[in-house]
Amino acid sequence: MSRKILSKKDAPKTIIDDEKFLNENDFIVSKTDTKGFITYFNKTFIDMCLYSQDELLGANHNLTRHPDMPKIAFKLCWQLIQNRQEFFGFVKNLRKDGGYYWVFAYITASFDTSGNIIGYYSVRRKPSRKAIEAVTPLYKDLVNAERHGGMEASERLLMDFLDKNDTTYEKLVTALQEM
Ligand SMILES: Cc1cc2nc3c(=O)[nH]c(=O)nc-3n(C[C@H](O)[C@H](O)[C@H](O)COP(=O)(O)O)c2cc1C
């Protein structure tokens, strides 16, 4: 029997202002194929996103995409991981009940013995609260820029922000998590 593959189209349409928090020692782990379809996850992921094991397996990872997340963050992520580099970032994720949880995410590629990319995996932990307070207004500006001028506008805004602060994306993220 075929079953429905979930994606962001199936995410809740009603967003609620209800945050859930990761514990200090929790890790959310998941793996995807090369297109971002989920192939593995741990129990902490189920506990945080509230989807069942059956719903998550095979779903696209954009199922947990929160509308407050700027698209430029994921563009940067895919650019890095497809180029065999690592992505670190603060991600606000949407739960099945319309609430959300913030993570400090690490995403990178998995390889076969010949060095071909066979998928991706991610490990996420509790983010620094000060970092979330700092990125929330920045993400708001980036989402706004995207609404009016598309990803070109948010990319420009992000580059200007990094230039003004004399930093790079990687340095900024590392510094924020240490706050
Ligand atoms: C290993 C891995 C983990 C991911 N985890 C998340 C996640 O937790 N939340 C999220 O919104 N996107 C995550 N993504 C990115 C999504 O696949 C997708 O690019 C993003 O949600 C933007 O969706 P869209 O391109 O359909 O707008 C992950 C991607 C990979 C490869």
Rounded mean pLDDT for each run of 10 residues along the chain, 179 residues in total: 85 96 97 97 98 96 97 97 97 98 98 97 97 97 97 97 95 93
18-38 burial string, b = 16+ CB within 10 Å, else e?
eeeebeeeebbebbbeeebbb
**Given this model, what pLDDT does residue 121 score?**
98
**Given this model, what pLDDT does residue 179 score?**
86
DSSP 148: H
* 6 domain residue, yes or no: no
Question: Of the residues 44, 49, 60, 62, which should be mutated to test ligand 1's pocket, given the most ligand atoms within 8 Å of the CB?
Answer: 62
From the CA of 78, how far away is ligand 1's center (Å)?
A: 9
Question: Of the residues 74, 79, 81, which should be mutated to test ligand 1's pocket, given the most ligand atoms within 8 Å of the CB?
Answer: 74
* 3 domain residue, yes or no: no
In this predicted model, what pLDDT tens digit does every residue of 152-162 receive, in sequence order?
999 999 999 99
* 8 domain residue, yes or no: no
* 109 domain residue, yes or no: yes
**Given this model, what pLDDT does residue 3 score?**
79
DSSP strand pairing (28-32 vs 117-125): antiparallel
In this predicted model, what pLDDT tens digit does every residue of 63-74 receive, in sequence order?
999 999 999 999
* 52 domain residue, yes or no: yes
* 121 domain residue, yes or no: yes
* 68 domain residue, yes or no: yes
**Given this model, what pLDDT does residue 1 score?**
58
Domain enclosing residue 65, as ranges = 21-177
Residue 7 CB less than 6 A away from ligand 1: no
Residue 65 CB less than 6 A away from ligand 1: yes
From the CA of 13, how far away is ligand 1's center (Å)?
A: 18
Residue 61 CB less than 6 A away from ligand 1: yes
Domain tally, the chain = 1
**Given this model, what pLDDT does residue 176 score?**
93
Q: Which two tokens stand for residue 160?
A: 């200007």
Q: Which pTM was predicted?
A: 0.96
* 157 domain residue, yes or no: yes
CATH number at residue 147: 3.30.450.20
From the CA of 35, how far away is ligand 1's center (Å)?
A: 10
